[in-house]
Chains A and B, each alone.
Chain A
Amino acid sequence: MTFLDFQALSPLLALTATILVVLMIIAYNRNHKVVCTTTVIGLFITLATIPCVIGIDPVQVTQLLVIDRFALLLITLIALVTIAVSLLAYDYFDGNSGRPEEFYLLLMLSALGGMVLVSSTHFASFLLGLELLSISLYALISYPIKGLIPLEAAVKYLILSGVASATLLMGAALLYAGLGTLSFEQLGSGFYPEQATVQAYIVIGSALLLTGLAFKLSLVPFHMWTPDVYEGAPAPVTAFVATVSKGAIFALMVRFFVLTGAFEYQSILVGLSVFAIGSMLAGNLLALMQNNVKRMLAYSSIAHIGYLLVAFISGGITGGMALALEASIFFLVAYIVTTLGAFGIVTILSNSDESRDCDALENYTGLFWRRPALAGAFSIILFSLAGIPLTAGFIGKFYIIAAGVKGTLWLLIATLVVGSGIGIYYYLRVIYTMTLKSTSTEPIRIPVASGWVMLLVTATILTLGVYPTPFIDMLGDLAKSLT
């Protein structure tokens, strides 16, 4: 390890140092406000180290990690989302019973896992990042001591996530058995061997690997855990699971496929297409039947990852990864910002002392008359999820379809269009509920920090939807540098 390596790793090191500092603060002076402030300051320091790395990238730090533009973009994104979730969680836990301090510790550990994932180029660092991310999440999901729902969600996530990790490891073991290496790059150089036996190892290994990833990304048919976990987890944690956890794993998948070139196997592409079609259809159809906003958003996130796969598959079919990467990264960013916003609204309306979060659809009745600003922000977020113009979601979906057309994936595009059509119904149903006459006159308090987070999230959604050019230019350069 040279000095350059440490400089490249500075975002990760800064976050690790923050975790230790926060640990000591909790040990000596248990104070919610101090802990939350230190967490946010530490995450801003993490962000501040990124400009120091931009000049020297890409750096391959040992065999395990690579810090390049792609990793830096996602590290920035993860840090920003973690700041937002910390602030939302501060208001969610503030003044309530229980001890909220360790929440920030676990949140930062989870974010660190995500950052390791997005920069890993080796199965060892991949697994380390994944486990760091998930093990912190088990504790986060069951964090509030308020009845059995969070506990049930955590146990479900623990077991299914463990199974997924085991499947993934088996896949990695088979790839190792076939090719004798765990580094993605070295796997790539031997991915098309002459001997059929080795080919069989690779196909089965990749299938197991994809199954594990699909579990974590909640793609159909491995999506069963999603609605229950999203419903049971406290709202800020749900925001984190839906954005950072999925985004980091998708980024890892992109890196694995780009470095190994696993696309050349027809069977892998067919498998991915089945995942995509299933997710788009099942996600949207099941969301129709939900009367719970968190469950509805869970199914909608299943569908969104399905859309994301369309761009990804088109890159494999055309061989032109640049457009596919540009499209999928833009869509991923739009998805992360929008989903963060949606669960942010749920968080603002909920309180960690109540036995349930504010997630039943009837709780949103008349929100327009009670809190117009909040309802307006939620409408913009829902429009973005539905893909209506002037929002980030529209540009993202446009990009996905453009990439799909380039790859002539007509079946996938048709499913996407049908899925989006169904989607509009259940998104608009929430907006319709919000416009109804209010039954409750109880005032809704919007906390300061959460209010600012929501304002920034909504502004980002609109900016990406109205004037996306600078961001698209940046992504174009990034996609070229990656392929």
Chain B
Amino acid sequence: MNEASSSLIPLVIYFISVIGLVALVMCLSWVVGGRIKRRPATGEPFESGIVSVGTAQVPITVEFYMIAMFFVIFDLETVFIFAWAVAFEELGWPGYAAMVVFVVILVLALIYEWKSGALDWGIKTRTGLERK
């Protein structure tokens, strides 16, 4: 283990220097950085723009998140299909079959989303969730 622990020394030095660097940067910015005195008008835009009202954290309709999530999911599927397309020749028919299965599952998921009303905008049109 002696040789092993000696091979770890560079790693330890690296860790220490990372922590040291971060500490140094933070201290320097505190020492050198300018000071701002907080007055009532400090946060206001100076003779430009409009005075802000309220916070930016307003409730946003859940549909936006749904669309964002669907985008991430289907975007990722594109990545997989792209990886297959690049190696199309090498993979041949077995690769094609695998990709057909993949796309069929994807279509089924899309049908599910559509039927359960996840693509509808506004609660009134969301019909799929009623229990029969």
Report A's interface with B, CB cutoff 8 A.
Answer: 1, 20, 23-24, 26-32, 99, 196-197, 199-200, 203
Contact = CB atoms under 8 A, between A and B. Distances in A.
B111 A197 contact: no
Contact of A23 (B109, B130, B131): B109
A196 B4 CA distance: 5
B55 interface: no
15 contacts: A1-B94, A23-B108, A24-B112, A26-B116, A27-B116, A27-B128, A29-B132, A30-B116, A30-B130, A31-B132, A196-B2, A196-B3, A197-B7, A200-B8, A203-B4
B1 interface: yes
Nearest to B98: A1
Contacts of B3: 196-197
Contacts of B8: 200
Contacts of A203: 4
Provide the main secondary structure of the chain B interface.
helix
A24 B114 CA distance: 11
Contacts of B130: 30
A30 B131 contact: yes
B110 to A, nearest CB: 10
B116 to A, nearest CB: 6
B123 interface: no
Nearest to A203: B4
A196 B1 contact: yes
How would you classify the secondary structure of chain A's contact residues: helix, strand, loop or mixed? helix
A200 B4 contact: yes
Contact of B4 (A20, A27, A32, A197): A197
A23 B132 contact: no
B132 A28 contact: no
Contacts of B73: none
Contacts of B85: none
Contacts of B26: none
A210 B128 CA distance: 45
A200 B1 CA distance: 8
A28 B112 CA distance: 8
A24 B111 contact: yes
Interface of B: 1-5, 7-8, 94, 105, 108-109, 111-112, 114-116, 128-132
B129 A99 contact: yes
A29 B128 CA distance: 9
Given A23-B112, A30-B129, A200-B8, 9 more contacts: A24-B108, A26-B116, A30-B130, A30-B131, A31-B132, A99-B131, A196-B2, A196-B4, A199-B1
Contact of A27 (B5, B94, B112): B112
Contacts of A24: 108, 111-112
| Nearest 10 CB-CB pairings of A with B | A196-B3, A27-B115, A196-B4, A200-B4, A27-B112, A197-B7, A23-B112, A199-B4, A20-B108, A27-B111
Question: Which among B112, B116, B128, B129 has the highest number of chain A CB atoms within 10 Å?
Answer: B112
Nearest to A97: B131
B112 A26 contact: yes
Contacts of A28: 115
B56 to A, nearest CB: 23
A203 B7 CA distance: 13
A30 B127 CA distance: 11
Nearest to A199: B4
A210 B130 CA distance: 46
A356 B64 CA distance: 31
A30 B4 contact: no
Nearest to B1: A196
B105 A20 contact: yes
A300 to B, nearest CB: 38
Nearest to A16: B105
Contacts of B128: 27, 30
